[in-house]
Amino acid sequence: MNTIKTLLYALIMALLIKYSVIEAYNVPTGSMEDTILIGDFLLANKFIYGIRLPLIGVTLPGIRDPRPGDVVVFKWPGDRSTNYVKRCIAVGGQTVVIREKKVFVDGVEFKEYPNLKHTDRNILRSRDNFGPFRVPRDCYFMMGDNRDDSYDSRFWGPVEKELIMGKALVVHWSWGPAPDKDYPRWEWTDPLTWPASLWYNLIHFHERVRWNRLGAAVG
């Protein structure tokens, strides 16, 4: 009986931590390269922006709201369920203007963070020239650091406060691409593909882990 109580207590504590303090997220796209890479697994601080208590749907006040420059995990407004990670560019009441790839917030050029990059010299109207757009109250304008390859607030609008999940903190695991073209096909719906994929990853484990990214701060 004591063992059952201990396991139940551990489960409850794990759920509370997951839903209210720290949670892990996988990054499947390159929209935040080179700040965050495809295959990075992030830990995000959910406490800082407000704790959402599981099941009852109540949100307790956080330490502060998202600020311009924060790397934020949120639910995509398009379906309100898919996790996205972007950089907060502007908050409610601020005005965003983009002119030939340069971003301005309230008339001041937005800080270019170290890993921000452009990969396309072409100037596209919707992507590289935008606004002026005034961010609604209790909303946030998000953009990827890989500016020319990011599906973000330029295309689908601002993120409501209730969709904010947490602030990205650190890369706790990083799994790189396969080192060769012979990587076996893997589909979770097809168990027959599992053994070959598992064996391949065991053999190439030391090559696929990005050891230098483990523990890297996100910012």
Active site residues: 31, 86
**Please, what sign has the CA dihedral across residues 38, 41, 46, 49?**
negative
Close Cβ partners of 13 (under 8 Å, ≥ 6 residues apart): none
Instruction: Determine the Cα–Cα distance for residues 207 and 102; give it in Å rounded to an integer.
Output: 37
